């Protein structure tokens, strides 16, 4: 006879923002559910309805867990326990216990978060490797695309793997129009020079950006850099190409953070901008200490 999961052993995480943020939210909650042998529920609310500027993208990966209803996210659902009377086992209905709501207060790593008890609901971004480092292999396995790469991306993957390679991710778009700090060309030029110094002059650069024409105009990565500009509707394919590169130069972007981290298996040089957000002093834990800040 099948019993419902223990309603106390559930982890709810609010999913919001672009794909990079969604991946941080999932990874943090996945670790918490894994360690506590709990059910993982992903709560979207109304954030990804038609017409919204962001799309829910985690279904493109081999993730576990399931989408939560509004009632499950707020503790209003009803669960079916079983009670025994002489000779019979009868179902009953009880309200599920309300999850403790844990909101992110700072972008610094907060070890207290990992000690919370189920049921719990997490609200935040949780952009720090230390929230899920102990299941890093599991996270990397689950953040692989469900679908195989198409021929064009397979051909690019072969090129990337054929010699020393480094990806560059350039984030502009809403950063520029919204007044957010966008890394200048000088940052990418200095980072590329540093990679050549550490790896050798034969390294090839592969550039990913939401403004490929600007990248071409500024010659980011040099005149011979290859620009991958055809995966706009399938960002998980860009991530798969990024993780295959030997080295990485990232923007102050959660998306390029994941491109760097997914392939960071110990031998990768990762260069990250020293400035992430202007006017904040709690950003030291965003990038792992092994990455180079310039």
Residue 2 domain-assigned (yes or no): no
Task: Give the end of a domain, one of 87, 122, 141.
Answer: 141
- 4 is a domain residue: no
Are 104 and 178 in the same domain?
no
- For the chain, give the number of residues: 294
**Domain assignment of residue 52, yes or no:** yes
Q: At what angle do helices 254-262 and 19-35 cross, to 10 degrees?
A: 60
Read off the pTM. 0.90
Q: CATH code at 224? A: 3.40.50.11350
Same domain, 154 and 289: yes
3 located within any domain: no
Q: What is the per-residue pLDDT across 12-49, written as a single tens digit (0 to 9) for each?
A: 999 999 999 999 999 999 999 999 999 999 999 988 98
Residues 111 and 178 in one domain: no
Domain boundary (120, 141, 162) is at 141
pLDDT digits (tens, 9 = 90+) for 77-97: 444 554 555 656 555 545 556
Q: Which residue has the tokens 């999961």?
A: 5
Distance in angstroms (rounded) separating the CA atoms of residues 238 and 184: 22
Same domain, 134 and 215: no
- 254-262 and 235-244 helices cross at what angle (nearest 10)? 40
Domain boundary among 76, 108, 141: 141
Q: Do both 136 and 262 map to the same domain?
A: no
Per-residue confidence band for 1, with pLDDT thresholds at 50, 70 and 90: very low
Cα 64 from Cα 273, distance rounded (Å): 32
* Pair (128, 238) in one structural domain: no
Residue 5 lies in a domain: no
Kindly state whether residue 87 falls inside one of the protein's structural domains: yes
Beta strands in the chain (DSSP E): 10-14, 39-43, 66-67, 78-79, 82-85, 88-91, 94-95, 100-103, 120-123, 165-170, 204-209, 226-228, 247-249, 270-272, 292-293
Range of the structural domain that residue 87 is part of = 10-141
How many domains does one find in the chain? 2
Report pLDDT digits (tens) over 160-178.
Answer: 999 999 999 999 999 999 8
- Say if 288 falls within a structural domain: yes
The CA distance from 247 to 105, in Å, is 32
119 is a domain residue: yes
Q: Are residues 99 and 167 in the same domain?
A: no
Q: Are residues 191 and 100 in the same domain?
A: no
Residue 247 clears pLDDT 80, i.e. is over it:
yes
- 92-137 pLDDT tens trace: 545 556 789 999 999 999 999 999 999 999 999 999 999 999 999 9
Q: Does one domain contain both 88 and 157?
A: no
């Amino acid at each position: 006879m099948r019993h419902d999961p223990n309603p106390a052993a559930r982890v709810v995480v609010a999913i919001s923002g672009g794909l990079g943020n969604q991946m941080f939210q999932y990874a943090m909650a996945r670790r918490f559910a894994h360690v506590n042998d709990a059910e993982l529920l992903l709560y979207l609310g109304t954030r990804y309805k038609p017409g919204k500027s962001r799309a829910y993208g985690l279904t493109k990966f081999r993730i576990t867990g399931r989408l939560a209803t509004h009632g499950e996210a707020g503790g209003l659902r009803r669960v079916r326990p079983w009670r025994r009377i002489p000779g019979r086992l009868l179902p009953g209905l009880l309200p599920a216990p309300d999850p403790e709501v844990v909101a992110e207060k700072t972008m610094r790593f907060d070890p207290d978060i990992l000690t919370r008890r189920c049921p719990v609901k997490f609200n935040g971004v949780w952009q720090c490797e230390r929230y899920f480092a102990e299941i890093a292999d599991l996270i990397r396995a689950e953040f692989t695309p469900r679908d195989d790469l198409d021929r064009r991306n397979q051909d690019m993957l072969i090129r990337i793997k054929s010699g020393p390679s480094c990806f560059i991710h350039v984030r502009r778009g809403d950063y520029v129009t919204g007044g957010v700090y966008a890394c200048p060309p000088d940052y990418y030029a200095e980072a590329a020079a540093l990679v050549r110094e550490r790896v050798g002059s034969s390294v090839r650069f592969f550039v990913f950006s939401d403004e490929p024409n600007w990248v071409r105009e500024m010659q980011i990565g040099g005149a011979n850099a290859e620009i991958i500009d055809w995966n706009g509707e399938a960002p998980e394919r860009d991530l798969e190409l990024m993780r295959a590169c030997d080295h990485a130069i990232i923007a102050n972007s959660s998306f390029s953070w994941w491109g760097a981290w997914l392939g960071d298996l110990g031998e990768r040089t990762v260069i990250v901008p020293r400035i992430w957000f202007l006017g904040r002093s709690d950003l030291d834990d965003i990038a792992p200490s092994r990455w180079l800040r310039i």
